[in-house]
Amino acid sequence: MIKKKIAMPGDSVAILNDAIRNISQPSRRIFLQRSLTLGGLSLLTGCSVSDNSSIEAALMKVSKLNDKAQALLFDPNRLAPTYPDSMITRPFPFNAFYGEDEVQEVDGNAWRLELSGLVMDKKPWSLAQLRNLPQTDQVTRHICVEGWSAIGKWGGVPFSHFLKRIGADLSAKYVGFKCADDYYTSIDMATALHPQTLMALTYDGEELPPKYGYPMKLRMPTKLGYKNPKHIQAMFVTNTYPGGYWEDQGYNWFGGS
């Protein structure tokens, strides 16, 4: 096969390099470098490399374009790879927007999962009630936007089962989450219903440790790590775009892995 060279506008590479240098957060820089496409380059050619606001606006357009492309490519029936227990990463890395010594301590006995939005049954759920629902486990790879990955074993309630149990509107666009550590994020309904999306209550066969999200986290092997919220306190179903902690700072909202 003969490969054709793609001609780019003369200053595109220089503009892209200047744009990346103007992104201050190292992890976000890595993310945006991976996200930029030829379509993004054409957007960047119209911005002033000396104007940070112009660069940010162009990068946000690229991010939204990638969101749409990822959503179109997402197959709700395609499973992420699974692994044997022998391949589990030990110890599994801790990762958050704060240090491990600042991990949120949650009282599991008093904890209740609050429900709101397009849900028929809005009564709160206790940890004991969630443990009484059908459980499954998976050994899957966690992929971080910072460039590392690790394999872990998560157990809990299939999220699709829970959504059907509470009478969630499965035709709605988004499911949002609020967490005990002030983190928040949201996902698309197709991912929420994916067979591997899990309300994780255990890690490696034991009660979910605080550093991994006790009492409950959402585990999605089809999403990058920052889309997997820990210490979840509340969830809601909505057709209004909810954003997220990192997404509101410029990260891709779809966040597929």
Give per-residue pLDDT as tens, 118-136: 999 999 999 999 999 999 9
Determine the average pLDDT of the residues in 101-112: 96
pLDDT of residue 13: 47
pLDDT of residue 190: 95
Which of 3.30.365.10, 3.40.50.11890, 3.90.420.10, 1.10.1760.20 is the CATH number of 85-249? 3.90.420.10
Q: Where are the domains of the chain?
A: 12-73, 85-249
| Position 50 pLDDT exceeds 60 | no
3-state secondary structure string across the chain:
CCCCCCCCCCCHHHHHHHHHHCCCCHHHHHHHHHHCCHHHHHHHCCCCCCCHHHHHHHHHHHHHHHHHHHHHHCCCCCCCCCCCHHHCCCCCCCCCCCCHHHCCCCCCCCCEEEEEECECCCCCEEHHHHHCCCCEEEEEEEECCCCCEEEEEEEEEEHHHHHHHCCECCCCCEEEEEECCCCEEEEEHHHHCCCCCEEEEEECCEECCHHHCCCCEEECCCECHHHCCCCEEEEEEECCCCCCCCHHHCCCCCCEC
- Beta sheet of 184-188, edge-to-edge order: 125-126, 112-117, 232-238, 174-179, 184-188
In this predicted structure, which of 65-74, 164-173, 193-202 has the lowest mean pLDDT?
65-74
Determine the average pLDDT of the residues in 93-106: 94
Determine the average pLDDT of the residues in 176-204: 97
pLDDT of residue 77: 78
| Position 34 pLDDT exceeds 70 | no
CA nearest neighbour of 25 among 47, 46, 56: 56
Percent share of the chain, pLDDT over 70? 70
User: How does residue 44 score in pLDDT terms, banded at 50, 70 and 90?
Assistant: very low
Tell me, rounded to whole angstroms, the distance of Cα 63 from its chain centroid.
14
pTM value?
A: 0.76
| Position 69 pLDDT exceeds 50 | yes
Chain mean pLDDT for the chain: 83
Percent share of the chain, pLDDT over 90? 67
- The sign of the CA dihedral 141, 71, 174, 240 is positive
Q: Hey, what's the torsion of the CAs at 120, 124, 130, 132, to 10 degrees?
A: -80
pLDDT of residue 23: 43
| Position 45 pLDDT exceeds 60 | no
